[in-house]
Structure 1
Amino acid sequence: MRARFYTLDVFTDTVFGGNPLAVFPDASKIPESALQSIALELNLSETVFVYPPVDAKHTRRVRIFTPVYEMPFAGHPTVGCAFALAALGEIPLAGEARIVLEELVGPVPVLVRGDFKKPTFAQLSVAKLPETGPPPPGRTHLAEALSLDPSDILGGMTAPQAISCGFPFLLVPLRDLDAVRRARVRMDQWDSALKSYWAPDIMVFARDAERDGVIRARVFVPGQGIIEDPATGSAAAALGGYLAARESAPSGNFSYLVEQGFEIKRPSIIRLEVDKADGDVTAVRVGGSAVMVSEGMMDVPLPEPTLTK
């Protein structure tokens, strides 16, 4: 069979920026056995397969695959998928549209802004509020895994912490932007200190001292076969939980702009919003733009029929 797919660059408004994504807008006839092979063939950080929703009140059901495994939730595939469906005219747009995508983590609400077939912005609301994981390895082990000095890693109330909004990340705050630029994963140290940890994938970040609310981040995902990811919405969602929990105000709306991918020449801008009430995080929203890049057809082999005697 032949299956149509599109590629986008997500969390950017410029082709060849952001994080690439492949979307199959109608995957209903693609054999289940081929999904992982297709994701490996395309070899992007994620590939999305779109189906009719299970619940008629929702917009679509989506499945997200890395080249290695299926994910319960991921940010840039969710934003990119909504953007692609709007660009293809499958989501009516007249200023904005609110849709729900069914993912393994649960129903994910997405806001899409733009006009007919011309989306300009998409923003997801996490289905799962931030969950804190077990204590991470100590600063010495983290510094060795990241090719840094222990003094580059902050401590105290701003110490590293593992958080999940559907997919876990170890958030490692660094003292300045220079430390973010210098970070490199040492695979031997990562294998010994983090490979078996609750959150083996790492986001290092630092606040920009000259721009209020701006965070420079890098995400390393060696467990997925990707040394560095250009834009990671699920990690940004976890970061939102981390940052808002440390805001002095017990209630309010907090906004951050996350810059990622600049060190690998895939500049990405992720807009992050967090609501907090009486000290608790009540909502996390991750948004950005995207651009359609290419369209193609893939020849997908059908399974051999089973012969019965």
Structure 2
Amino acid sequence: MPTLPFFTADVFTTTRFGGNPLAVVMGGETLDTATMQAVAAEFNLSETTFVLPPSDPAHTAHVRIFNRTAEMTFAGHPMVGTAFVLARRDPTLDEATFEIAAGLVRIRIARDEAGTAIGAAITTPQPLTIGETLPPELIAGVLRLDPGDVVTTTHPPIAASNGNTYVIAELTAHALARCSPDIDAFRAALSAHPQQGNRFSVHVYSREGDTLRARMFAPLVGTWEDPATGSANAPLACLLLSLDAAREAATFTIHQGVEMGRPSLLEVDAQRTAAGIMATLHGSCVPVMAGEISL
């Protein structure tokens, strides 16, 4: 019976029990996908990662990411948190490259003056891609809002991705606080838009300049609401930059998880590159738990 060490960390926060919790399991190359999924369901967090040997020895690790019900191609807080956990165990680790299903993630470790890892910055594995637009009435329906609560002056509700697709919509500040997901409406939305895969994840925000407040809902995969969603805030920042032709780059400060009592802070740099619009996510982390799993 193999025994694997695990660590948990709160990501996109400097305060324990804030931000988005993550479980990081060290090893597991002998485990099948079903067992990994069962472990993720047991942790019952937004995501759990498994750190495996890389296929290319020049890279740091192959990382598999699971939410409560399915494996994911890319997710932001698992990349930041996994890098943080590895850097806490290896004081020489300053840069890392993770192999994930969506491609390669380049990482820079943030350390304090004493050399202790305190967070990480990650670059998205893919440039921004934009998909279908959706009617404001659909967003209003899944979040129990009025269609007038959805702001369309900058962009309509739209699918966007840097490796993981979300439907992104702007709301009024008052409406953002009133969001209440309707699971039946989410099921109907996915049925009407099957190109969204096995989920219909909605990322909504309100804006004051380059400071944003955001909330993300993915109840069809067990995440009723997420405290901090790097893979949703990355395409949000890239989308906003894409709509501002006067800027080559922009930095957004994003607050999430406030309504959940787990306030999170993300800084997202979006930049036009030869490959397209890319994002770099910056986040702090706090260690929380360590233990072993017997399988």
Q: TM-score, normalised by structure 1?
A: 0.88
How many angstroms apart in 1 are the aligned matches of 2:264 and 2:16?
11
Counterpart position of 1:173: 170
Cα–Cα, structure 1 residues 233 and 195, in superposed 2: closer, same or farther, change >3 Å? farther
Within 5 Å, give how 1:49-64 maps onto structure 2.
49-64=50-65
1:235 aligns with 2:249: no
Counterpart position of 1:46: 47
2:238, 2:277 within 8 Å by CA — same for their partners in 1? no
Which letter does structure 2 place at the counterpart of 1:86?
A: A
| Bigger radius of gyration | 1
Q: Secondary structure at the match of 2:49?
A: strand
Q: Secondary structure at the match of 1:255?
A: strand
How many angstroms apart in 2 are the aligned matches of 1:277 and 1:70?
29
How many angstroms apart in 2 are the aligned matches of 1:193 and 1:101?
33
1:254, 1:274 within 8 Å by CA — same for their partners in 2? yes
Superposed CA offset, 1:225-264 (max 9, x none): 1110100010011101211112241x42200011000000
**For the aligned residues, what is the CA RMSD?**
1.8
Counterpart position of 1:184: 180
Out of 259, 263, 279, the position equivalent to 1:263 is 259
Q: Secondary structure at the match of 1:86?
A: helix
How far residue 27 of structure 1 moved from its aligned partner, in angstroms, is 2.6
In the alignment of these two chains, the number of paired residues is: 289
Counterpart position of 2:268: 272
Cα–Cα, structure 1 residues 34 and 242, in superposed 2: closer, same or farther, change >3 Å? same
How many angstroms apart in 2 are the aligned matches of 1:142 and 1:32?
33
How far residue 28 of structure 1 moved from its aligned partner, in angstroms, is 3.3
Counterpart position of 1:98: 95
Which letter does structure 1 place at the counterpart of 2:62?
A: R
Counterpart position of 2:294: 299
Q: TM-score, normalised by structure 2?
A: 0.92
Q: Secondary structure at the match of 2:17?
A: coil
How far residue 282 of structure 1 moved from its aligned partner, in angstroms, is 3.3
How many angstroms apart in 2 are the aligned matches of 1:174 and 1:73?
26
Within 5 Å, give how 1:275-286 maps onto structure 2.
275-276=271-272, 281-286=276-281
1:255, 1:271 within 8 Å by CA — same for their partners in 2? yes
How far residue 196 of structure 1 moved from its aligned partner, in angstroms, is 4.9
How many angstroms apart in 2 are the aligned matches of 1:117 and 1:227?
37
Out of 118, 121, 143, the position equivalent to 1:120 is 118
Superposed CA offset, 1:70-125 (max 9, x none): 11111000000000000112x614xxx22110001111101112157611231111
Which letter does structure 2 place at the counterpart of 1:224?
A: V
Within 5 Å, give how 1:2-151 maps onto structure 2.
2-89=3-90, 92-93=92-93, 97-114=94-111, 118-136=116-134, 138-151=135-148
How many angstroms apart in 2 are the aligned matches of 1:185 and 1:179?
13
How many angstroms apart in 1 are the aligned matches of 2:75 and 2:218?
13
Q: Secondary structure at the match of 1:144?
A: helix
Q: Secondary structure at the match of 1:237?
A: helix
How far residue 276 of structure 1 moved from its aligned partner, in angstroms, is 2.1
Cα–Cα, structure 1 residues 156 and 213, in superposed 2: closer, same or farther, change >3 Å? closer
List runs of 5+ in structure 1 lacking aligned partners. Answer: 301-309
Q: Secondary structure at the match of 2:132?
A: coil
List runs of 5+ in structure 2 lacking aligned partners. Answer: none
How many angstroms apart in 2 are the aligned matches of 1:49 and 1:230?
21
Give the % identical residues.
35
* Larger displacement relative to structure 2 (194-203 or 126-135): 194-203
How far residue 31 of structure 1 moved from its aligned partner, in angstroms, is 4.8
How many angstroms apart in 1 are the aligned matches of 2:150 and 2:130?
19
How far residue 156 of structure 1 moved from its aligned partner, in angstroms, is 4.2
Q: Secondary structure at the match of 1:262?
A: coil
1:83, 1:122 within 8 Å by CA — same for their partners in 2? yes
